[in-house]
Amino acid sequence: MSDEINVTLSNLLQEDRQFPPTPAFAAQANGKASLFDQAEHDRLGFWAEQARNLDWETDFTEVLDWSNAPFAKWFVGGKLNIAYNCVDRHVHAGHGDQVAIRFEGEPGDRRDITYRELMAEVSQAANALTELGVVAGDRVAIYLPMIPEATIAMLACARIGAIHSVVFAGFSAEALRSRIEDANAKLVITADGQNRRGSAMDLKSAVDEAVDASPSVENVLVVKRTGTDVTWHDRDVWWHDLVGRQSIDHTPEAFDAETPLFILYTSGTTGKPKGILHTSGGYLTQASYTHKMVFDLKPETDVYWCTADVGWVTGHSYIVYGPLANRVTQVIYEGTPDTPNKDRWWDIIERHGVTLLYTAPTAIRTFMKWGDHLPQSHDLSSLRLLGSVGEPINPEAWMWYREVIGGNRCPIVDTWWQTETGAMMIAPLPGVAACKPGSAMRALPGIGMAVVDQEGTPLGNGSGGFLVLTQPWPSMLRGIWGDNQRYVDTYWSRWPQYYFAGDGAKLDNDGALWLLGRVDDVMNVSGHRISTTEVESALVSHPEVAEAAVVGASDPTTGQGIVAFVILRGSTEDAGELIKELRNHVAREIGPIAKPRQVMIVQELPKTRSGKILRRLLQDVAEHRDVGDSTTLADPAVMKLISEGLASSSSDD
Nearer to ligand PRX, 502 or 596 (CB): 502
* Residue 503 interacting with ligand PRX (CB under 6 A): yes
Number of residues that bind ligand PRX (CB under 6 A): 21
Q: How far is the CB of 8 from ligand PRX (least distance, A)?
A: 11
What residues contact residue 493 under an 8 Å CB cut-off, 6+ apart?
none
Rounded distance between C-alpha atoms, residue 91 and residue 98, angstroms: 9
Burial of 202 by CB count in 10 Å (0-12 exposed, 13-18 middle, 19+ buried)?
Answer: middle
**Residue from 515, 549, 563, 578 in contact with ligand PRX (CB under 6 A):** 515
Site for ligand PRX in 313-352 (CB under 6 A): 313-314
Site for ligand PRX in 180-219 (CB under 6 A): none
**Residue from 144, 203, 501, 617 in contact with ligand PRX (CB under 6 A):** 501
Nearer to ligand PRX, 160 or 424 (CB): 424
Nearer to ligand PRX, 217 or 264 (CB): 264
Residue 617: strand, helix, or coil: helix
| φ and ψ of 226, to 5 deg | -110, -15
Q: How far is the CB of 138 from ligand PRX (least distance, A)?
A: 25
The identity of residue 134, as a single letter, is: V
* Residue 502 interacting with ligand PRX (CB under 6 A): yes
**Residue from 19, 398, 416, 481 in contact with ligand PRX (CB under 6 A):** 416
* Residue 524 interacting with ligand PRX (CB under 6 A): yes
Q: Which listed range, 173-181, 221-229, 278-286, 387-395, lies at the site for ligand PRX (CB under 6 A)? A: 387-395
Q: In sequence order, what DSSP letters do the residues of 327-339 get, joined into one string?
A: T--EEEE-S-TTS
* Residue 255 interacting with ligand PRX (CB under 6 A): no
Tell me the β-bridge partners of 333.
104
* Residue 419 interacting with ligand PRX (CB under 6 A): yes
* Residue 266 interacting with ligand PRX (CB under 6 A): yes
* Residue 560 interacting with ligand PRX (CB under 6 A): no
Instruction: Find the angle CA(130)-CA(133)-CA(134) to the nearest 5 degrees.
Output: 70
| φ and ψ of 41, to 5 deg | -70, -40
Q: How far is the CB of 476 from ligand PRX (least distance, A)?
A: 13
- CA pseudo-torsion sign 89, 90, 91, 92: positive
**Residue from 116, 529, 583, 585 in contact with ligand PRX (CB under 6 A):** 529
Q: How far is the CB of 437 from ligand PRX (least distance, A)?
A: 13
| φ and ψ of 357, to 5 deg | -120, 130
Rounded distance between C-alpha atoms, residue 423 and residue 316, angstroms: 9
Rounded distance between C-alpha atoms, residue 545 and residue 175, angstroms: 21
Instruction: Find the angle CA(277)-CA(279)-CA(285) to the nearest 5 degrees.
Output: 130
What residues contact residue 566 under an 8 Å CB cut-off, 6+ apart?
539, 545, 546, 547, 548, 582, 599, 600, 601, 602
**Residue from 343, 414, 521, 555 in contact with ligand PRX (CB under 6 A):** 414
Site for ligand PRX in 46-105 (CB under 6 A): none
* Residue 525 interacting with ligand PRX (CB under 6 A): no
DSSP H stretches of helix in 12-114: 23-28, 34-41, 43-51, 82-83, 89-90
Tell me the β-bridge partners of 480.
276
* Residue 392 interacting with ligand PRX (CB under 6 A): yes
Binding mask 438-477 for ligand PRX (x = CB under 6 A): --x-------------------------------------
* Residue 532 interacting with ligand PRX (CB under 6 A): no
Q: Which listed range, 66-74, 137-145, 409-417, 451-459, lies at the site for ligand PRX (CB under 6 A)? A: 409-417
Q: For helices 43-51 and 281-294, give the axis angle rounded to 10 degrees.
A: 90
**Residue from 415, 531, 558, 560 in contact with ligand PRX (CB under 6 A):** 415
Residues that bind ligand PRX (CB under 6 A): 266, 313-314, 389-392, 414-419, 440, 501-503, 515, 518, 524, 529
